[in-house]
Amino acid sequence: MTRLELLTVLLSIKALLESDNKDKALELINEVIAEAKTASKQN
């Protein structure tokens, strides 16, 4: 994940949390974790 992609994800999570959309924020966090695990297995 590039720095730009990471920044985009973090800003999205921040916006979701600020709008009290905690469930969507958690969903996004879980997707990023799953993607990171998949990427680390491929290397």
pLDDT of residue 9: 95
Q: In whole angstroms, what is the distance from residue 14 CA to residue 28 CA? A: 11
Domain layout of the chain by residue ranges = 12-42
Q: In whole angstroms, what is the distance from residue 22 CA to residue 24 CA? A: 6
pLDDT of residue 40: 86
Following DSSP, what letter does each residue of 12-36 receive, concatenated? HHHHHHHTT-HHHHHHHHHHHHHHH
Q: Which two tokens stand for residue 7?
A: 């920044």
pLDDT digits (tens, 9 = 90+) for 5-37: 999 999 999 999 999 999 999 999 999 999 999
Would you put residue 2 in left (φ > 0), alpha (ψ -120 to 50) or beta? beta
Q: In whole angstroms, what is the distance from residue 17 CA to residue 12 CA? A: 9
